[in-house]
Structure 1
Amino acid sequence: MSQNAAFTPPPDARAYRLRTARGEFAVVDSPVAGGAEAKGVVLMLPGFTGSKEDFTLLHEPLGARGYRTVAVDGRGQYESDGPELDEAAYAQAELARDVLAQVAALETRVHLVGHSLGGQIARAAVLLDHSPFVSLTLMSSGPARISESQQQRVKLLRDALDTMTMAEVWEVIQAMGPPEEVGGPAVGPADPERLRNRWLGTSPAQLRATGRQLCAEPDRVAELAAVPLPYHVLSGAYDDTWSVSLLDDMARRLDARRTVVPGAEHSPNTDQPLPTARALADFWDDVPTQSPQRPTGS
Protein backbone atom coordinates (compact mmCIF):
# COMPACT_ATOMS: atom_id res chain seq x y z
CA MET A 1 0.00 0.00 0.00
CA SER A 2 1.07 3.57 -0.56
CA GLN A 3 0.33 7.22 0.04
CA ASN A 4 2.18 8.67 -2.95
CA ALA A 5 -0.79 9.71 -5.11
CA ALA A 6 -1.48 13.40 -5.55
CA PHE A 7 -4.72 15.34 -5.50
CA THR A 8 -3.64 17.60 -8.35
CA PRO A 9 -4.90 16.28 -11.70
CA PRO A 10 -3.02 16.75 -15.00
CA PRO A 11 -3.18 20.28 -16.46
CA ASP A 12 -5.68 19.37 -19.19
CA ALA A 13 -7.99 17.36 -16.92
CA ARG A 14 -11.40 18.68 -15.88
CA ALA A 15 -12.91 18.17 -12.44
CA TYR A 16 -16.69 18.43 -12.57
CA ARG A 17 -19.93 16.82 -11.47
CA LEU A 18 -21.19 14.26 -13.97
CA ARG A 19 -24.99 14.51 -14.23
CA THR A 20 -26.70 11.14 -14.51
CA ALA A 21 -30.18 9.69 -14.16
CA ARG A 22 -29.19 8.65 -10.63
CA GLY A 23 -27.70 11.92 -9.44
CA GLU A 24 -24.43 13.79 -9.82
CA PHE A 25 -20.99 12.25 -9.29
CA ALA A 26 -17.66 14.03 -8.88
CA VAL A 27 -15.21 13.04 -11.61
CA VAL A 28 -11.79 13.90 -12.95
CA ASP A 29 -11.93 13.62 -16.74
CA SER A 30 -8.54 13.60 -18.48
CA PRO A 31 -8.23 13.80 -22.29
CA VAL A 32 -5.84 12.16 -24.69
CA ALA A 33 -2.48 13.89 -24.98
CA GLY A 34 -2.29 16.54 -27.67
CA GLY A 35 -6.02 16.67 -28.21
CA ALA A 36 -6.00 13.61 -30.46
CA GLU A 37 -9.03 11.40 -30.87
CA ALA A 38 -9.24 8.81 -28.11
CA LYS A 39 -8.71 5.12 -28.83
CA GLY A 40 -11.16 4.51 -26.02
CA VAL A 41 -12.69 5.87 -22.82
CA VAL A 42 -11.87 4.43 -19.40
CA LEU A 43 -14.04 4.64 -16.27
CA MET A 44 -12.14 4.02 -13.02
CA LEU A 45 -13.80 3.08 -9.70
CA PRO A 46 -11.88 3.53 -6.42
CA GLY A 47 -11.70 1.22 -3.44
CA PHE A 48 -12.83 1.25 0.18
CA THR A 49 -12.07 4.60 1.90
CA GLY A 50 -10.63 5.73 -1.44
CA SER A 51 -11.56 8.32 -4.05
CA LYS A 52 -11.01 9.34 -7.65
CA GLU A 53 -7.65 10.81 -6.61
CA ASP A 54 -6.24 7.30 -6.24
CA PHE A 55 -5.96 7.23 -10.05
CA THR A 56 -4.28 10.64 -10.43
CA LEU A 57 -0.91 9.20 -11.44
CA LEU A 58 -2.47 7.10 -14.21
CA HIS A 59 -4.13 9.92 -16.16
CA GLU A 60 -1.11 11.30 -18.00
CA PRO A 61 0.55 8.00 -19.03
CA LEU A 62 -2.79 6.61 -20.21
CA GLY A 63 -3.54 9.84 -22.07
CA ALA A 64 -0.16 9.51 -23.78
CA ARG A 65 -1.22 6.04 -24.94
CA GLY A 66 -4.43 7.41 -26.46
CA TYR A 67 -7.00 6.80 -23.72
CA ARG A 68 -9.38 9.31 -22.18
CA THR A 69 -9.68 8.51 -18.47
CA VAL A 70 -12.57 9.33 -16.15
CA ALA A 71 -12.06 8.66 -12.43
CA VAL A 72 -15.18 8.89 -10.26
CA ASP A 73 -16.14 9.22 -6.61
CA GLY A 74 -18.93 6.73 -6.00
CA ARG A 75 -22.07 7.58 -4.08
CA GLY A 76 -21.06 8.88 -0.65
CA GLN A 77 -17.34 8.92 -1.46
CA TYR A 78 -15.41 12.15 -0.91
CA GLU A 79 -16.96 14.74 -3.28
CA SER A 80 -20.01 12.74 -4.41
CA ASP A 81 -23.13 13.19 -2.32
CA GLY A 82 -24.78 10.37 -0.42
CA PRO A 83 -26.94 9.86 2.65
CA GLU A 84 -25.17 9.91 6.00
CA LEU A 85 -27.33 7.31 7.77
CA ASP A 86 -29.18 5.20 5.19
CA GLU A 87 -27.03 2.13 4.59
CA ALA A 88 -29.59 0.67 2.18
CA ALA A 89 -28.61 3.40 -0.30
CA TYR A 90 -25.20 1.74 -0.53
CA ALA A 91 -26.31 -1.79 -1.29
CA GLN A 92 -24.04 -3.27 -3.93
CA ALA A 93 -26.82 -3.42 -6.52
CA GLU A 94 -27.49 0.31 -6.00
CA LEU A 95 -23.83 1.16 -6.47
CA ALA A 96 -23.71 -1.03 -9.59
CA ARG A 97 -26.69 0.81 -11.06
CA ASP A 98 -24.86 4.07 -10.37
CA VAL A 99 -21.99 2.80 -12.55
CA LEU A 100 -24.38 1.99 -15.39
CA ALA A 101 -25.83 5.50 -15.08
CA GLN A 102 -22.35 7.04 -15.18
CA VAL A 103 -21.52 5.19 -18.40
CA ALA A 104 -24.85 6.25 -19.92
CA ALA A 105 -24.02 9.87 -19.09
CA LEU A 106 -20.63 9.54 -20.80
CA GLU A 107 -22.53 8.44 -23.92
CA THR A 108 -19.96 5.86 -25.00
CA ARG A 109 -18.92 2.32 -24.18
CA VAL A 110 -16.02 2.21 -21.74
CA HIS A 111 -13.17 0.09 -20.52
CA LEU A 112 -14.10 -0.41 -16.85
CA VAL A 113 -11.43 -0.51 -14.12
CA GLY A 114 -12.25 -1.26 -10.49
CA HIS A 115 -9.71 -1.13 -7.68
CA SER A 116 -10.38 -3.37 -4.66
CA LEU A 117 -13.98 -2.65 -3.53
CA GLY A 118 -14.40 -0.82 -6.83
CA GLY A 119 -13.65 -4.08 -8.63
CA GLN A 120 -16.47 -5.89 -6.88
CA ILE A 121 -18.86 -3.03 -7.68
CA ALA A 122 -17.63 -3.13 -11.29
CA ARG A 123 -18.29 -6.88 -11.40
CA ALA A 124 -21.83 -6.33 -10.13
CA ALA A 125 -22.42 -3.68 -12.81
CA VAL A 126 -21.20 -6.01 -15.56
CA LEU A 127 -23.44 -8.79 -14.27
CA LEU A 128 -26.43 -6.43 -14.43
CA ASP A 129 -25.68 -5.33 -18.00
CA HIS A 130 -22.40 -5.91 -19.82
CA SER A 131 -23.38 -4.11 -23.04
CA PRO A 132 -21.97 -0.65 -22.05
CA PHE A 133 -18.51 -2.11 -21.43
CA VAL A 134 -15.66 -2.91 -23.80
CA SER A 135 -13.59 -4.71 -21.16
CA LEU A 136 -13.23 -5.15 -17.40
CA THR A 137 -10.02 -4.84 -15.38
CA LEU A 138 -10.09 -6.04 -11.78
CA MET A 139 -7.23 -4.28 -10.01
CA SER A 140 -6.25 -5.89 -6.70
CA SER A 141 -9.83 -7.08 -6.38
CA GLY A 142 -10.54 -10.69 -5.51
CA PRO A 143 -13.21 -13.29 -6.12
CA ALA A 144 -15.01 -13.11 -2.77
CA ARG A 145 -14.59 -11.67 0.72
CA ILE A 146 -11.38 -10.05 1.94
CA SER A 147 -8.77 -11.82 4.08
CA GLU A 148 -9.37 -12.53 7.77
CA SER A 149 -6.86 -9.89 8.84
CA GLN A 150 -8.55 -7.24 6.72
CA GLN A 151 -11.97 -8.33 7.96
CA GLN A 152 -10.76 -7.64 11.50
CA ARG A 153 -9.60 -4.16 10.51
CA VAL A 154 -12.86 -3.38 8.77
CA LYS A 155 -14.81 -4.59 11.81
CA LEU A 156 -12.77 -2.26 14.05
CA LEU A 157 -13.62 0.63 11.78
CA ARG A 158 -17.32 -0.22 11.64
CA ASP A 159 -17.47 -0.56 15.43
CA ALA A 160 -15.80 2.82 15.81
CA LEU A 161 -18.24 4.45 13.40
CA ASP A 162 -21.15 3.16 15.49
CA THR A 163 -20.07 5.24 18.50
CA MET A 164 -17.83 8.04 17.22
CA THR A 165 -17.97 10.89 14.72
CA MET A 166 -15.92 10.77 11.54
CA ALA A 167 -13.59 13.41 13.00
CA GLU A 168 -13.09 11.38 16.16
CA VAL A 169 -12.41 8.21 14.18
CA TRP A 170 -9.86 10.10 12.10
CA GLU A 171 -7.96 11.09 15.22
CA VAL A 172 -7.89 7.46 16.38
CA ILE A 173 -6.63 6.35 12.96
CA GLN A 174 -3.82 8.89 13.14
CA ALA A 175 -2.82 7.64 16.56
CA MET A 176 -2.80 4.01 15.35
CA GLY A 177 -0.70 4.58 12.24
CA PRO A 178 -0.98 5.43 8.54
CA PRO A 179 -4.61 5.51 7.39
CA GLU A 180 -4.21 2.71 4.88
CA GLU A 181 -3.26 0.32 7.70
CA VAL A 182 -6.60 0.68 9.47
CA GLY A 183 -9.93 -0.25 7.97
CA GLY A 184 -8.85 -1.96 4.79
CA PRO A 185 -7.48 -1.11 1.37
CA ALA A 186 -7.25 2.67 1.42
CA VAL A 187 -4.67 4.60 -0.55
CA GLY A 188 -4.24 8.27 -1.05
CA PRO A 189 -2.18 11.40 -1.31
CA ALA A 190 0.64 12.35 1.00
CA ASP A 191 -0.94 15.66 2.11
CA PRO A 192 -2.38 14.88 5.59
CA GLU A 193 -4.92 17.71 5.49
CA ARG A 194 -6.31 16.60 2.17
CA LEU A 195 -6.45 13.02 3.40
CA ARG A 196 -8.42 14.26 6.39
CA ASN A 197 -10.77 16.26 4.17
CA ARG A 198 -11.37 13.22 2.01
CA TRP A 199 -12.15 11.14 5.08
CA LEU A 200 -14.56 13.74 6.46
CA GLY A 201 -16.24 14.03 3.05
CA THR A 202 -17.07 10.33 2.97
CA SER A 203 -20.42 9.13 4.31
CA PRO A 204 -20.18 6.91 7.41
CA ALA A 205 -23.15 4.91 6.10
CA GLN A 206 -21.20 4.23 2.91
CA LEU A 207 -18.24 2.94 4.93
CA ARG A 208 -20.39 0.73 7.15
CA ALA A 209 -22.35 -0.73 4.22
CA THR A 210 -19.42 -1.34 1.90
CA GLY A 211 -17.33 -2.67 4.79
CA ARG A 212 -19.99 -5.33 5.36
CA GLN A 213 -19.94 -6.12 1.64
CA LEU A 214 -16.18 -6.67 1.67
CA CYS A 215 -16.49 -9.06 4.59
CA ALA A 216 -19.35 -11.10 3.10
CA GLU A 217 -18.97 -10.93 -0.69
CA PRO A 218 -19.73 -14.31 -2.33
CA ASP A 219 -17.65 -15.84 -5.08
CA ARG A 220 -19.29 -14.77 -8.38
CA VAL A 221 -16.43 -15.65 -10.71
CA ALA A 222 -18.39 -18.38 -12.50
CA GLU A 223 -21.18 -15.89 -13.23
CA LEU A 224 -18.69 -13.37 -14.55
CA ALA A 225 -16.91 -15.96 -16.70
CA ALA A 226 -20.18 -16.55 -18.55
CA VAL A 227 -20.34 -12.88 -19.63
CA PRO A 228 -18.77 -12.21 -23.06
CA LEU A 229 -16.16 -9.58 -22.18
CA PRO A 230 -12.35 -9.49 -22.23
CA TYR A 231 -10.97 -9.55 -18.66
CA HIS A 232 -7.75 -8.39 -17.06
CA VAL A 233 -6.66 -9.23 -13.51
CA LEU A 234 -3.93 -6.85 -12.35
CA SER A 235 -2.25 -6.68 -8.95
CA GLY A 236 0.97 -5.96 -7.15
CA ALA A 237 3.48 -8.65 -6.27
CA TYR A 238 2.17 -8.75 -2.69
CA ASP A 239 -1.36 -8.24 -1.38
CA ASP A 240 -2.74 -8.86 2.10
CA THR A 241 -6.35 -8.11 1.13
CA TRP A 242 -6.60 -10.94 -1.41
CA SER A 243 -3.54 -13.14 -1.84
CA VAL A 244 -1.70 -13.05 -5.16
CA SER A 245 -2.27 -16.81 -5.54
CA LEU A 246 -6.02 -16.24 -5.15
CA LEU A 247 -5.91 -13.56 -7.83
CA ASP A 248 -3.90 -15.93 -10.08
CA ASP A 249 -6.61 -18.55 -9.71
CA MET A 250 -9.38 -16.04 -10.41
CA ALA A 251 -7.61 -14.99 -13.62
CA ARG A 252 -7.46 -18.62 -14.76
CA ARG A 253 -11.15 -19.07 -14.04
CA LEU A 254 -11.97 -15.96 -16.07
CA ASP A 255 -9.57 -16.81 -18.90
CA ALA A 256 -8.25 -13.31 -18.21
CA ARG A 257 -5.00 -11.56 -18.97
CA ARG A 258 -2.92 -11.60 -15.78
CA THR A 259 -0.49 -8.83 -14.80
CA VAL A 260 1.63 -8.76 -11.65
CA VAL A 261 3.36 -5.40 -11.18
CA PRO A 262 6.79 -5.76 -9.53
CA GLY A 263 7.43 -3.49 -6.58
CA ALA A 264 3.72 -2.88 -5.95
CA GLU A 265 1.41 -4.07 -3.20
CA HIS A 266 -2.37 -3.58 -2.90
CA SER A 267 -2.36 -0.31 -4.85
CA PRO A 268 -0.26 -0.63 -8.02
CA ASN A 269 -2.01 2.51 -9.30
CA THR A 270 -0.07 4.51 -6.71
CA ASP A 271 2.86 2.21 -5.89
CA GLN A 272 4.00 1.76 -9.52
CA PRO A 273 1.82 3.95 -11.75
CA LEU A 274 3.94 3.85 -14.93
CA PRO A 275 4.18 0.05 -15.30
CA THR A 276 0.54 -0.19 -14.21
CA ALA A 277 -0.53 2.26 -16.92
CA ARG A 278 1.58 0.40 -19.46
CA ALA A 279 -0.07 -2.92 -18.60
CA LEU A 280 -3.54 -1.40 -18.79
CA ALA A 281 -2.95 0.25 -22.15
CA ASP A 282 -1.29 -2.87 -23.58
CA PHE A 283 -4.40 -4.86 -22.65
CA TRP A 284 -6.82 -2.32 -24.14
CA ASP A 285 -4.75 -2.08 -27.33
CA ASP A 286 -5.34 -5.81 -27.81
CA VAL A 287 -9.11 -5.63 -27.22
CA PRO A 288 -11.15 -5.44 -30.45
CA THR A 289 -13.31 -2.34 -30.75
CA GLN A 290 -16.30 -4.65 -30.94
CA SER A 291 -15.55 -7.23 -28.26
CA PRO A 292 -16.10 -10.77 -29.53
CA GLN A 293 -18.86 -12.82 -27.97
CA ARG A 294 -17.68 -15.70 -25.85
CA PRO A 295 -19.69 -18.86 -25.30
CA THR A 296 -21.53 -19.15 -22.01
CA GLY A 297 -19.35 -20.74 -19.36
CA SER A 298 -16.07 -20.12 -21.21
Structure 2
Amino acid sequence: MSTPRFLTLPPGVREQRIETPVGTFAALEALPVSGVPERWPALLVPGYTGSKEDFIAIFQTLAQAGRRVVAIDMRGQYETEGPDDPAAYTCEALGEDIDQVAAAVGAGEPVHLVGHSFGGLVTREAVIGGATKLASYTLMSSGPAGITGPREQACRAMLRELPEVGLEQLWTHRLEPEAIVAGVPDDILAFLRRRLFANSLTGLVTMAQQVLDAPDRLEDLRDVGMPTLILYGEHDDGWSPSSQAEMAKRLDADCVVVPGALHSPAVEAPETTAHALTRFWNQAEQHLPHT
Protein backbone atom coordinates (compact mmCIF):
# COMPACT_ATOMS: atom_id res chain seq x y z
CA MET A 1 0.00 0.00 0.00
CA SER A 2 1.56 3.29 -1.10
CA THR A 3 1.40 6.12 1.44
CA PRO A 4 1.23 9.61 -0.09
CA ARG A 5 3.28 12.20 1.77
CA PHE A 6 0.54 14.80 1.57
CA LEU A 7 -2.91 15.22 0.09
CA THR A 8 -3.09 18.95 -0.60
CA LEU A 9 -3.06 19.48 -4.34
CA PRO A 10 -0.07 21.53 -5.55
CA PRO A 11 -0.59 24.58 -7.79
CA GLY A 12 -1.61 23.59 -11.28
CA VAL A 13 -3.14 20.26 -10.18
CA ARG A 14 -6.89 19.70 -10.22
CA GLU A 15 -9.42 16.91 -9.94
CA GLN A 16 -10.74 15.70 -13.26
CA ARG A 17 -13.03 13.08 -14.81
CA ILE A 18 -11.87 11.26 -17.92
CA GLU A 19 -14.80 10.25 -20.12
CA THR A 20 -14.28 7.17 -22.31
CA PRO A 21 -16.48 4.71 -24.23
CA VAL A 22 -15.96 2.18 -21.41
CA GLY A 23 -16.80 4.52 -18.53
CA THR A 24 -15.71 7.52 -16.52
CA PHE A 25 -12.40 7.50 -14.63
CA ALA A 26 -11.50 9.67 -11.65
CA ALA A 27 -8.27 11.53 -12.31
CA LEU A 28 -5.86 14.20 -11.19
CA GLU A 29 -4.54 16.45 -13.91
CA ALA A 30 -1.44 18.62 -13.73
CA LEU A 31 -0.69 21.47 -16.12
CA PRO A 32 2.25 23.89 -16.27
CA VAL A 33 1.59 26.72 -13.83
CA SER A 34 2.55 29.22 -16.52
CA GLY A 35 2.25 28.75 -20.25
CA VAL A 36 0.66 25.85 -22.08
CA PRO A 37 1.74 22.22 -22.51
CA GLU A 38 4.30 22.06 -25.33
CA ARG A 39 5.25 18.38 -25.05
CA TRP A 40 3.32 15.14 -25.34
CA PRO A 41 1.14 14.23 -22.33
CA ALA A 42 1.72 11.52 -19.75
CA LEU A 43 -0.63 9.00 -18.14
CA LEU A 44 0.22 7.51 -14.74
CA VAL A 45 -1.44 4.30 -13.52
CA PRO A 46 -1.25 3.24 -9.84
CA GLY A 47 -0.72 -0.16 -8.28
CA TYR A 48 -2.81 -2.55 -6.21
CA THR A 49 -4.72 -0.76 -3.39
CA GLY A 50 -3.23 2.47 -4.76
CA SER A 51 -4.77 5.51 -6.39
CA LYS A 52 -4.00 8.64 -8.38
CA GLU A 53 -2.93 10.37 -5.15
CA ASP A 54 0.21 8.21 -5.06
CA PHE A 55 1.68 10.53 -7.72
CA ILE A 56 0.89 13.89 -6.08
CA ALA A 57 4.50 14.49 -5.05
CA ILE A 58 5.77 14.35 -8.66
CA PHE A 59 2.93 16.13 -10.47
CA GLN A 60 4.25 19.67 -10.30
CA THR A 61 7.80 18.82 -11.37
CA LEU A 62 6.55 16.73 -14.30
CA ALA A 63 4.09 19.36 -15.49
CA GLN A 64 6.60 22.19 -15.23
CA ALA A 65 8.66 20.42 -17.88
CA GLY A 66 5.91 21.41 -20.31
CA ARG A 67 3.42 18.55 -20.16
CA ARG A 68 -0.12 17.72 -19.25
CA VAL A 69 0.16 14.89 -16.71
CA VAL A 70 -2.82 12.73 -15.76
CA ALA A 71 -3.08 10.05 -13.07
CA ILE A 72 -6.16 7.87 -12.71
CA ASP A 73 -7.91 5.47 -10.39
CA MET A 74 -8.40 2.27 -12.34
CA ARG A 75 -11.80 0.60 -12.54
CA GLY A 76 -12.93 -0.29 -9.01
CA GLN A 77 -10.18 1.77 -7.34
CA TYR A 78 -11.03 4.57 -4.88
CA GLU A 79 -13.11 7.15 -6.83
CA THR A 80 -13.66 5.19 -10.05
CA GLU A 81 -16.66 2.91 -9.86
CA GLY A 82 -16.48 -0.72 -10.87
CA PRO A 83 -18.88 -3.65 -11.22
CA ASP A 84 -19.14 -6.79 -9.07
CA ASP A 85 -17.99 -8.94 -11.99
CA PRO A 86 -14.50 -10.43 -11.39
CA ALA A 87 -13.89 -10.48 -15.15
CA ALA A 88 -13.72 -6.67 -15.09
CA TYR A 89 -10.54 -6.75 -12.98
CA THR A 90 -8.20 -9.00 -14.92
CA CYS A 91 -5.03 -7.46 -16.32
CA GLU A 92 -6.46 -7.87 -19.82
CA ALA A 93 -9.74 -6.11 -19.01
CA LEU A 94 -8.02 -3.30 -17.12
CA GLY A 95 -5.51 -2.98 -19.95
CA GLU A 96 -8.36 -2.37 -22.37
CA ASP A 97 -9.52 0.42 -20.07
CA ILE A 98 -6.05 1.96 -20.25
CA ASP A 99 -6.26 1.89 -24.05
CA GLN A 100 -9.39 4.02 -23.87
CA VAL A 101 -8.07 6.40 -21.22
CA ALA A 102 -4.79 6.92 -23.11
CA ALA A 103 -6.74 7.72 -26.28
CA ALA A 104 -8.79 10.29 -24.38
CA VAL A 105 -5.73 11.84 -22.71
CA GLY A 106 -3.72 11.95 -25.92
CA ALA A 107 -6.55 13.29 -28.10
CA GLY A 108 -4.56 12.24 -31.16
CA GLU A 109 -1.09 12.75 -29.71
CA PRO A 110 1.22 9.98 -28.46
CA VAL A 111 1.15 9.45 -24.69
CA HIS A 112 3.94 8.62 -22.24
CA LEU A 113 2.53 5.69 -20.25
CA VAL A 114 3.69 4.81 -16.71
CA GLY A 115 2.55 1.78 -14.71
CA HIS A 116 3.44 1.45 -11.03
CA SER A 117 3.64 -2.06 -9.52
CA PHE A 118 0.37 -3.87 -10.42
CA GLY A 119 -0.28 -0.94 -12.73
CA GLY A 120 2.76 -2.16 -14.69
CA LEU A 121 1.18 -5.58 -15.20
CA VAL A 122 -1.98 -3.84 -16.42
CA THR A 123 -0.39 -1.24 -18.69
CA ARG A 124 1.84 -3.77 -20.44
CA GLU A 125 -1.36 -5.37 -21.75
CA ALA A 126 -2.20 -2.06 -23.42
CA VAL A 127 1.32 -1.79 -24.84
CA ILE A 128 1.35 -5.36 -26.17
CA GLY A 129 -2.14 -4.93 -27.60
CA GLY A 130 -0.85 -2.07 -29.73
CA ALA A 131 -4.06 -0.05 -29.84
CA THR A 132 -2.66 2.76 -27.69
CA LYS A 133 -0.73 5.52 -29.46
CA LEU A 134 2.32 5.74 -27.21
CA ALA A 135 5.48 7.83 -27.08
CA SER A 136 7.16 5.72 -24.39
CA TYR A 137 6.52 3.20 -21.65
CA THR A 138 7.78 3.12 -18.05
CA LEU A 139 7.54 0.20 -15.66
CA MET A 140 7.92 1.67 -12.17
CA SER A 141 8.64 -0.86 -9.42
CA SER A 142 7.01 -3.62 -11.44
CA GLY A 143 8.21 -6.98 -12.67
CA PRO A 144 8.18 -9.64 -15.37
CA ALA A 145 5.55 -11.86 -13.71
CA GLY A 146 3.77 -12.26 -10.36
CA ILE A 147 5.02 -10.23 -7.41
CA THR A 148 7.65 -11.72 -5.10
CA GLY A 149 9.23 -11.11 -1.71
CA PRO A 150 7.55 -9.59 1.36
CA ARG A 151 4.81 -7.98 -0.72
CA GLU A 152 3.89 -11.36 -2.17
CA GLN A 153 3.34 -12.64 1.37
CA ALA A 154 1.30 -9.56 2.29
CA CYS A 155 -0.82 -9.98 -0.83
CA ARG A 156 -1.45 -13.66 -0.10
CA ALA A 157 -2.45 -12.79 3.45
CA MET A 158 -4.85 -10.13 2.19
CA LEU A 159 -6.35 -12.55 -0.32
CA ARG A 160 -6.79 -15.14 2.42
CA GLU A 161 -8.24 -12.77 5.01
CA LEU A 162 -10.57 -10.63 2.89
CA PRO A 163 -13.26 -13.29 2.31
CA GLU A 164 -12.99 -14.50 5.92
CA VAL A 165 -12.96 -11.31 8.00
CA GLY A 166 -13.86 -8.48 5.61
CA LEU A 167 -12.31 -5.05 5.16
CA GLU A 168 -13.20 -3.70 8.61
CA GLN A 169 -11.36 -6.42 10.50
CA LEU A 170 -8.47 -6.38 8.03
CA TRP A 171 -8.03 -2.65 8.50
CA THR A 172 -8.48 -2.61 12.27
CA HIS A 173 -6.30 -5.58 13.14
CA ARG A 174 -3.56 -5.47 10.52
CA LEU A 175 -3.34 -2.56 8.11
CA GLU A 176 -3.99 0.28 10.56
CA PRO A 177 -1.56 -1.00 13.23
CA GLU A 178 1.12 -1.48 10.57
CA ALA A 179 0.61 2.10 9.36
CA ILE A 180 0.76 3.49 12.90
CA VAL A 181 4.00 1.64 13.62
CA ALA A 182 5.40 3.09 10.37
CA GLY A 183 4.66 6.59 11.66
CA VAL A 184 1.95 7.51 9.15
CA PRO A 185 0.38 10.88 10.16
CA ASP A 186 -3.26 10.92 11.26
CA ASP A 187 -4.55 12.77 8.18
CA ILE A 188 -2.86 10.32 5.83
CA LEU A 189 -4.09 7.41 7.95
CA ALA A 190 -7.66 8.67 7.57
CA PHE A 191 -7.16 8.94 3.80
CA LEU A 192 -5.78 5.40 3.56
CA ARG A 193 -8.83 4.06 5.40
CA ARG A 194 -11.22 6.03 3.21
CA ARG A 195 -9.45 4.87 0.06
CA LEU A 196 -9.39 1.21 1.07
CA PHE A 197 -13.10 1.12 1.89
CA ALA A 198 -13.98 2.89 -1.36
CA ASN A 199 -12.43 0.08 -3.41
CA SER A 200 -14.56 -2.61 -4.99
CA LEU A 201 -14.27 -5.71 -2.79
CA THR A 202 -14.55 -7.89 -5.89
CA GLY A 203 -11.82 -5.80 -7.47
CA LEU A 204 -9.52 -6.15 -4.46
CA VAL A 205 -9.83 -9.93 -4.49
CA THR A 206 -9.43 -10.35 -8.24
CA MET A 207 -6.55 -7.86 -8.54
CA ALA A 208 -4.73 -9.68 -5.72
CA GLN A 209 -5.04 -12.93 -7.66
CA GLN A 210 -3.81 -11.18 -10.79
CA VAL A 211 -0.74 -9.63 -9.17
CA LEU A 212 0.22 -13.02 -7.72
CA ASP A 213 -0.40 -15.14 -10.81
CA ALA A 214 0.68 -12.85 -13.66
CA PRO A 215 2.64 -14.68 -16.39
CA ASP A 216 5.94 -13.51 -17.82
CA ARG A 217 5.18 -11.47 -20.95
CA LEU A 218 8.55 -9.82 -21.53
CA GLU A 219 9.08 -11.44 -24.92
CA ASP A 220 5.74 -10.08 -26.12
CA LEU A 221 6.63 -6.66 -24.72
CA ARG A 222 10.07 -6.69 -26.32
CA ASP A 223 8.54 -7.47 -29.71
CA VAL A 224 6.59 -4.21 -29.60
CA GLY A 225 9.81 -2.19 -29.78
CA MET A 226 8.53 0.61 -27.54
CA PRO A 227 11.07 2.97 -25.90
CA THR A 228 10.99 1.57 -22.37
CA LEU A 229 12.30 2.64 -18.97
CA ILE A 230 12.62 0.36 -15.95
CA LEU A 231 12.61 2.50 -12.80
CA TYR A 232 12.71 1.12 -9.26
CA GLY A 233 13.87 1.81 -5.75
CA GLU A 234 17.27 0.70 -4.52
CA HIS A 235 15.60 -1.28 -1.72
CA ASP A 236 12.41 -2.41 -3.47
CA ASP A 237 10.59 -4.98 -1.33
CA GLY A 238 8.25 -6.09 -4.11
CA TRP A 239 9.98 -7.44 -7.17
CA SER A 240 13.65 -7.59 -6.22
CA PRO A 241 16.02 -4.98 -7.64
CA SER A 242 18.01 -7.78 -9.29
CA SER A 243 14.93 -9.15 -11.08
CA GLN A 244 14.07 -5.68 -12.35
CA ALA A 245 17.63 -5.11 -13.54
CA GLU A 246 17.44 -8.43 -15.40
CA MET A 247 14.08 -7.36 -16.86
CA ALA A 248 15.71 -4.20 -18.22
CA LYS A 249 18.38 -6.33 -19.92
CA ARG A 250 15.80 -8.65 -21.46
CA LEU A 251 13.87 -5.67 -22.82
CA ASP A 252 16.99 -3.75 -23.85
CA ALA A 253 15.44 -0.91 -21.85
CA ASP A 254 16.83 2.11 -20.03
CA CYS A 255 17.20 1.47 -16.30
CA VAL A 256 17.15 3.91 -13.38
CA VAL A 257 17.70 2.84 -9.76
CA VAL A 258 16.39 5.44 -7.30
CA PRO A 259 18.75 5.70 -4.30
CA GLY A 260 17.15 5.14 -0.90
CA ALA A 261 13.69 4.33 -2.30
CA LEU A 262 11.69 1.17 -1.71
CA HIS A 263 8.57 0.20 -3.67
CA SER A 264 7.12 3.67 -4.25
CA PRO A 265 9.80 5.98 -5.71
CA ALA A 266 7.23 8.66 -6.59
CA VAL A 267 6.45 8.94 -2.87
CA GLU A 268 9.83 8.20 -1.33
CA ALA A 269 12.10 10.12 -3.74
CA PRO A 270 9.81 12.37 -5.80
CA GLU A 271 12.36 14.80 -7.25
CA THR A 272 14.74 12.05 -8.39
CA THR A 273 11.84 10.10 -9.86
CA ALA A 274 10.31 13.10 -11.63
CA HIS A 275 13.62 14.17 -13.15
CA ALA A 276 14.34 10.62 -14.36
CA LEU A 277 10.92 10.44 -16.04
CA THR A 278 11.29 13.85 -17.64
CA ARG A 279 14.75 13.04 -19.00
CA PHE A 280 13.53 9.74 -20.45
CA TRP A 281 10.42 11.32 -21.98
CA ASN A 282 12.45 14.12 -23.59
CA GLN A 283 14.86 11.58 -25.09
CA ALA A 284 11.99 9.48 -26.42
CA GLU A 285 10.42 12.50 -28.09
CA GLN A 286 13.65 13.34 -29.86
CA HIS A 287 13.50 10.01 -31.68
CA LEU A 288 9.84 10.11 -32.68
CA PRO A 289 8.25 12.29 -35.38
CA HIS A 290 5.87 14.89 -33.99
CA THR A 291 2.33 14.84 -35.24
- TM-score, length-normalised on structure 1? 0.90
Question: Counterpart of 1:287?
Answer: 284
Give how far 1:151 is off: 2.5
Letter in 1 for 2:91: Q
1:131-172 deviations in whole A, cap 9, x for unaligned? Answer: 411100000001111115332221211122112332232112
Give how far 1:272 is off: 0.3
Look up the SS of the partner of 2:37 in the other structure. Answer: coil
Does the CA contact (< 8 Å) of 1:134 and 1:289 recur in 2? no
RMSD: 2.2
1:221-246 deviations in whole A, cap 9, x for unaligned? Answer: 11101102100000110112111111
Give how far 1:189 is off: 9.5
Does the CA contact (< 8 Å) of 1:5 and 1:53 recur in 2? no
Question: Counterpart of 1:46?
Answer: 46
Does the CA contact (< 8 Å) of 1:188 and 1:195 recur in 2? no
Does the CA contact (< 8 Å) of 2:2 and 2:50 recur in 1? no
Identity %: 38
More helix by share: 2
Give how far 1:37 is off: 2.8
Question: Counterpart of 2:158?
Answer: 157
Measured at CA, do residues 2 and 157 of structure 1 come closer, stay the same or move farther in structure 2, by a change above 3 Å? Answer: closer
Give how far 1:173 is off: 2.4
Does the CA contact (< 8 Å) of 2:43 and 2:71 recur in 1? yes
Give how far 1:190 is off: 5.8
Question: Counterpart of 1:267?
Answer: 264
Measured at CA, do residues 132 and 82 of structure 1 come closer, stay the same or move farther in structure 2, by a change above 3 Å? Answer: same
Q: Which of residues 231, 236, 244 is equivalent to 1:234?
A: 231
- TM-score, length-normalised on structure 2? 0.92
Gaps of 5+ in 2: none
Measured at CA, do residues 195 and 164 of structure 1 come closer, stay the same or move farther in structure 2, by a change above 3 Å? Answer: same
1:92 aligns to 2:76 (yes or no): no
Look up the SS of the partner of 1:118 in the other structure. Answer: helix
Measured at CA, do residues 131 and 175 of structure 1 come closer, stay the same or move farther in structure 2, by a change above 3 Å? Answer: closer
Measured at CA, do residues 137 and 101 of structure 1 come closer, stay the same or move farther in structure 2, by a change above 3 Å? Answer: same
Letter in 1 for 2:46: P
Does the CA contact (< 8 Å) of 1:27 and 1:72 recur in 2? yes
1:72-109 deviations in whole A, cap 9, x for unaligned? Answer: 000000000012x3211111111001001101222132
